[in-house]
Structure 1
Amino acid sequence: MKNLFSIGKLLVIVMLIFILAACGEKTQEDVVGELQTKVEELNGYKAKAEMSMNTGQEQQKFSIDVWHKEKDFYRVSLSSGEDEKGSQIILKNEDGVYVLTPALEKSFKFQSEWPNNGSQPYLYQSLVEDVLNDPEATFESTETDYVFKTTTNYQSNNNLPFQEIHFSKDTYTPSLVKVLDKDNNALVEVKFSAFELDPTFADDDFSMDKNMARKDASETSASVSEEETVDVLEVVLPTFTAGAELMEQRDVELENGERVILTFAGEKDFTLIQERVDVVPTLTSPQEVEGDIVNLGHSIGALKDNMLEWSYDGVDYTIASDELTKEELIEVGRSVQGRAVK
């Protein structure tokens, strides 16, 4: 009888241990609920991250500085750290969506629903939204993070169908995002190094004027122009051509610069135009662009039905084709990094 009592007592203790363990570990539903509540109550945040892209022949890295203020104000600064001319800002305020290149005094206004028109691996709300919208999302709890694997919603790129999102157990904010291809290879990684919830912002932090202000404001446009007239337009060739080959190169002298038109023919034909204008434009109304914002790694581009446009290092690029798919346009654009001396 005494033995039966001891066995029964032992079973009760074991059951209590399992119950306490279960109570201490949150379920997938618990974590999803916490994330949803966190985002709904969010007034804003500031985050710093490093993005690595393995979508071309060489890995590309750049720093991301994200500001968000309720309800619909965003400022995403992307910089390679190599050249100020390559630094760009995606800005959304009450007037619309913009891509700014302050060093070149260039600004584009997009007719776009960004960031609500697709997955954004560096935006907190977008990551939580992807978790909420995927009924088949998988869940794992590690020592430090809650990890979800979900589908993505990249309208302009079907080659990145999955993502792995790590949320800190302490704060429920993202710590790491891996965007995966069909074979589960991580082609894009975003590592967050800092995340501040509900920060304070100045009244003009999301204004065009403040974000277009050059760091070297003391430098005159004349001196910048004088420097840039010395630069020679070097032809930059894509390493991915979708089976086409370079058939013709036409050089066109402009009144204040030069343009190179490259014609590629083969399995799918396309034209690549590169243009450098020697005079730095003064700050005027932004150029209107109809299209989607696309991250090319080296730059932010505008993707239309059959055209991709971007600026980098003082040169404007355009790829046009009636035969390339959107994914192929992006892949060609991302691969424009080899050089041919003119």
Structure 2
Amino acid sequence: MRRITWIAALIACFTLVLAGCGSKDAGSVVKELGKLQDKTETYQGTGTMTLHTATQPLEYKVDVKFQKPNYYRIALTNEKKDLTQIVLRNDEGVFVLTPSLNKVFRFQSNWPEDQGQVYLYQTLVKSILLDNSRQFASEKDSYVFDVMANYQNASLARQKIWLNKSDYAPKQVEVSDSNASVLVDVKFDSFKFNEKLDKSVFDTKTNLQSSPAAGSQPTTAVPESDATDGKAADPAGKDGDAGKGGAASAGDGQQGAGSADPSGAQEEDGQQDAAADPTSFVPMEPSYLGGDGIALKDSSEIVFGGEPGYIQRYSGTYNYTLIETQPEDTAVAMGTGRMVDLGYTWAQLNEGEQTTLTWTYGGKEFRLTSGDLPQDQMIAVAQSVVDEMGK
């Protein structure tokens, strides 16, 4: 009997040893992640990103491709509105493309090294490697890391990352705020390493021509420098230029976003234009105004750079101006400012006496200008505009 008991105990111990050999702890997984990142030549993945920062969840299809040393292509598609925006990094620089408008913003930027993206594998692995207080769990077919988040948006505090046990491919990412409320959720339905990618995947012209709207070659327009000249729209709603330093449209030639005075200066030579039919322009209003104590001061139709548009001025605790235009001409604009991730698209941030945030979406170009609105609030206001577009 004793011998049988001893044999049973030995078998149980042996089983436990085998089970232990089959599992991995956080240290071994982290070590293997570092090795995998070093030997990864390419990757490509698709999935769905859901933003919970608006009053209603907004979904976007994500298509991401990478090739060493630093080629990137990310496409975000709103399937409900059939809108796609693309960010590329190739030998010529960093480009934000709106194929439906045949519009390109070009940046001299170290993106994405200088700012992480929730759908980039490098960003996820880096956050795991750098957080020595990382939390680790092993589920049925996933390793789960709970680590600090490091994104432009300071409200994104932590992220939970699910990695496939078989190849460490990302399965899901949840990014939450300091109250553990999930703000961004990415679910990958496909992710593959080291499959050959054609170099045309990262070509700017090829990506523009993928849209039916790309029938003509985009013209070139160079905006003002990011050091604004102080003539941007007065944050309190006084007369002044509307946000110099924004990206230029083909309609306003070499002038930046500040060639028009939204509150009267343009009336000298453009009052008749403004009175002309702005082709039934339908403006979008932000659903988030930047905090308490801010309200719409006034709004009016304008013609901005030869294009129909709309201006809204907000005042109170903070003061800012939002100009929307509906460009018909195509343009390539050199982005002299900093790239900013809005979640659903990318914007250009120009800082100076006045700060201007410029982006395109849904066939419209937006310029948000303020002298006192904090940047995180400016980004939140810009993000809330797409919430209105989704209604």
Same fold by TM-score greater than 0.5: yes
Show the counterpart of 1:224.
Answer: none
- Secondary structure at the aligned position of 1:335 is classed as helix
Show the counterpart of 2:320.
Answer: 270
Tell me, yes or no, if structure 1 residue 292 matches structure 2 residue 339. yes
Indicate which of 362, 365, 376 corresponds to 1:313: 362
Conserved 8 A contact 2:163-2:171: yes
Indicate which of 86, 91, 97 corresponds to 2:88: 91
Alpha-carbon displacement from aligned partner over 1:260-294 (angstroms, at most 9, x marks no partner): 221101111111111123x332xx64432311231
Bigger proportion of residues as strand: 1
CA drift at 1:149: 0.5
Conserved 8 A contact 1:296-1:333: no
Indicate which of 142, 146, 151 corresponds to 1:145: 142
* Pairs within 5 Å for 1:80-229: 80-84=78-82, 86-155=83-152, 157-216=153-212
- Secondary structure at the aligned position of 2:60 is classed as strand
Give the whole-Å Cα distance in 2 for the aligned partners of 1:201 and 1:96: 19
CA drift at 1:25: 0.6
Alpha-carbon displacement from aligned partner over 1:48-96 (angstroms, at most 9, x marks no partner): 0110001011110010111111110000011101334x31111001111
Show the counterpart of 2:237.
Answer: none
Tell me, yes or no, if structure 1 residue 236 matches structure 2 residue 232. no
Show the counterpart of 1:66.
Answer: 64
Sequence identity, in percent? 28
Conserved 8 A contact 1:307-1:329: no
CA drift at 1:329: 0.8
Normalising by structure 1, we get a TM-score of 0.88
Indicate which of 276, 284, 301 corresponds to 2:347: 301
- Secondary structure at the aligned position of 2:32 is classed as helix
Give the whole-Å Cα distance in 1 for the aligned partners of 2:358 and 2:341: 10
CA drift at 1:259: 2.5
Normalising by structure 2, we get a TM-score of 0.78
Give the whole-Å Cα distance in 2 for the aligned partners of 1:307 and 1:138: 39
Conserved 8 A contact 1:147-1:167: yes
Alpha-carbon displacement from aligned partner over 1:201-240 (angstroms, at most 9, x marks no partner): 223221111111143269679xxxxxxx995321211111
- Secondary structure at the aligned position of 2:201 is classed as coil
Conserved 8 A contact 2:324-2:365: yes
Conserved 8 A contact 2:142-2:164: yes
329 and 218 in structure 1: CA distance in 2 versus 1, 3 angstrom threshold: closer
CA drift at 1:255: 6.4
Letter matched to residue 384 of structure 2: S
331 and 218 in structure 1: CA distance in 2 versus 1, 3 angstrom threshold: closer
User: What is the count of residue pairs matched by the alignment?
Assistant: 324
- Which sits farther off after the overlay, 197-206 or 309-318? 197-206
Gaps of 5+ in 1: 222-228
Letter matched to residue 204 of structure 1: S
Give the whole-Å Cα distance in 1 for the aligned partners of 2:376 and 2:155: 8
Conserved 8 A contact 1:292-1:304: no
18 and 104 in structure 1: CA distance in 2 versus 1, 3 angstrom threshold: same
Tell me, yes or no, if structure 1 residue 246 matches structure 2 residue 296. yes
Conserved 8 A contact 1:103-1:214: no
Gaps of 5+ in 2: 218-276
CA drift at 1:135: 0.5
216 and 171 in structure 1: CA distance in 2 versus 1, 3 angstrom threshold: same
Give the whole-Å Cα distance in 2 for the aligned partners of 1:233 and 1:199: 46
